[in-house]
Structure 1
């Protein structure tokens, strides 16, 4: 349905992109602002190729904030930082595309970017306020395939911007370029974007920024348990970038974090340094059985039921079958049993599961068959993924 924007422009149907959740890598969680440059990012791209992550589906390479020169050019256009990105963003994007990636960039709707506010990045007028058409044209000319558009207190500095109008402005500008660009809306869940952002974007942040700790993972899970029905092909609840492989999470917590995002049908944007990641992290991030659940074309996110204090059961329908994820948020291990055609906890049947279902590996092991009276121990902050689809 067409909608009339505030300035009278007709808002068309958004481009039919992101029919499954986008997968890729984003520079922010690992390198933040001042630690990015074109040579380092190309090393990261090569590591994503060499590690098998690109082949596994992580094909969107997103350069977050601080790629910009401190000021726009005399023509008003954004420019690459001349010292850290001497080749320019179009050339860097071409290098990424030559390796098989889609090219993603960062922008913001106000006068400032987030790094200008929180990292003292010494820029001037790097936000897109009043220049949405010009910036969209620039991104399209550079070959950008993905835009992360980050609120960053866009209503300050006299802009008087409001949600969702600020994001509609860039949606219209991107559509006008004629280039298919996946549009990622980031306003941290402040205005329940799952209720409106699907008209403009292909994914929308649901919570404040993820932190490198277990409490943050649990908090995001609690939000997604309430909004799972507001997501699907072409428009996804974005649980924020992955912290898998960064300090702060144990191996069990990292595995649960990744499995939850797969069951959420959330975009998977790795945020670690693939140049230095260990083999266990590589195996987890390229776990094809969990990635198939994330990318299932039915696109229905898992629903959640608390089966005991600190123990959640996530259930996700698939095109062929069903998948379950038991998450132990408690501080002690728990045992799960299979009997009488169902999984049970504390002698209570909690979900019927076909006998042909399998326990899915987390770090690259082989799937385990289910049999009567099988018992599995889930460590504190760990999880148990189960699928009735036979992955070959």
Structure 2
């Protein structure tokens, strides 16, 4: 289902913007497992390695690189092994097995390797009888989906030390006639019964508006079809998020899919815009590149702690689009300590000036405000208008804080201020 791209939003009436942004929607009934109180951060094997490129060495190298690159220290925790880890069939007792050629040490040993590096381990499964790779990548297996084996699979995952489960729909309505809420809830209950804390992410690609029903079932739910490493894919996904800000809360996150930052097909500026927008949306930050082989530009994007802090901060509402001027857009998100994070997005193929006034952001006219540029590390005193020249297919991302009784702030700025014009 496609969400239309709104040209205006009901919250953009002059000085009422920040009040609207800061007012939480009706509280969601989030899954009561005490997990994912901030959006999960980690790495998933699928976007870069897909099915045929993943193996035990790849996952170990990703865990090692997550530590060596500084990603772990920046907040990344989960190393998630996606589809194609399974042996072609279950064992005689109906248990899943690791593919003996590509995962000779087994999944439990792989989880131990990840845990030994201060990280957490995630795995992939499906509610039907066939995984997505069986259908789309012709993965040679039979009966490795959880259908009819849900209880034994949940117990197996817990026994192996799994900390995160990605449960992917993969046509289970067509192959087994399953209904999404019931099938996903069944695994939720069985995971809880194991007694092991396991973050639970579900994926049905936004087909049945899961943001309206999935909060009590899962910690996160996909809102879109699979992401691709193209600017067109990123913009299509962003348009689908514009109306979803009320459907998000600690422990219950909209998931616009894994990151493509650093993968072939995206330029550095496009990757920077991608990461900024996902952070403003409180999206799970699951890297999808080759961590062991990433270049320094990619590492800098993925480990920008000031941008990550926006993603991990819950101000009562995820970011949303305030203004759409065609190729130029303004997105904003309230911050828990007061103030607002802002992304000025240039979707076009030429540099453009983008401006937003204090009144549109709901900032007090007389307050002393500062705007911190999160990519260039500069702080400026904010005048009546925030204005930036934004390169093609790029963003300016800023965090604005104001002093005074009307707006208490917790963010501290460096002493490198100039006046914004």
Global fold match (TM > 0.5): yes
Report whether the alignment pairs 1:181 with 2:191: no
C-alpha deviation, 1:142, in angstroms: 0.6
Q: Quick one: distance in 2 between partners of 1:326 and 1:18? A: 28
CA distance 1:209–1:30, shift in 2 (3 Å): same
Q: Quick one: distance in 1 between partners of 2:333 and 2:121? A: 31
CA deviations 1:8-41 (Å, max 9, x no partner) are: xxxx963121010000000000100111111221
Among candidates 362, 366, 374, match of residue 361 of structure 1? 374
CA deviations 1:247-301 (Å, max 9, x no partner) are: 1112211111100000000000000111121111111111111100000043520
Report whether the alignment pairs 1:163 with 2:180: yes
Contact 1:359/1:368, CA 8 A, preserved across alignment: yes
CA distance 1:247–1:330, shift in 2 (3 Å): same
Structure 1 segments unaligned to the other structure (5+ residues): 1-11, 344-348
Q: Quick one: distance in 2 between partners of 1:83 and 1:142? A: 19
CA RMSD of aligned residues (A): 1.8
Q: Quick one: distance in 2 between partners of 1:119 and 1:323? A: 41
Q: Quick one: distance in 2 between partners of 1:95 and 1:335? A: 49
C-alpha deviation, 1:130, in angstroms: 0.9
Q: 2:395 aligns to what?
A: 383
Q: 1:223 aligns to what?
A: 240
CA distance 1:13–1:376, shift in 2 (3 Å): closer
Q: Quick one: distance in 2 between partners of 1:60 and 1:327? A: 29
Among candidates 110, 123, 128, match of residue 92 of structure 1? 110
Q: 2:263 aligns to what?
A: 246
Q: 2:87 aligns to what?
A: 69
C-alpha deviation, 1:374, in angstroms: 7.4
Any idea what SS the aligned residue of 2:396 has? strand
CA deviations 1:60-113 (Å, max 9, x no partner) are: 110000111111010100011111111110111011000011110000000000
Structure 1 segments (4+ residues) deviating >3 Å: 349-356, 370-375, 389-392
- Which structure is richer in relative contact order (CA contacts within 8 A, separation 6 or more)? 2
Contact 1:14/1:175, CA 8 A, preserved across alignment: no
Q: 1:4 aligns to what?
A: none
C-alpha deviation, 1:337, in angstroms: 5.1
CA distance 1:66–1:299, shift in 2 (3 Å): farther
Contact 2:222/2:256, CA 8 A, preserved across alignment: yes
Q: Quick one: distance in 1 between partners of 2:355 and 2:141? A: 58
Any idea what SS the aligned residue of 1:306 has? strand
Q: Quick one: distance in 2 between partners of 1:136 and 1:73? A: 16
Q: Quick one: distance in 2 between partners of 1:331 and 1:67? A: 40
Structure 2 segments unaligned to the other structure (5+ residues): 1-29, 402-410, 414-421
Q: Quick one: distance in 2 between partners of 1:205 and 1:331? A: 29
C-alpha deviation, 1:355, in angstroms: 4.6
Among candidates 123, 126, 134, match of residue 105 of structure 1? 123
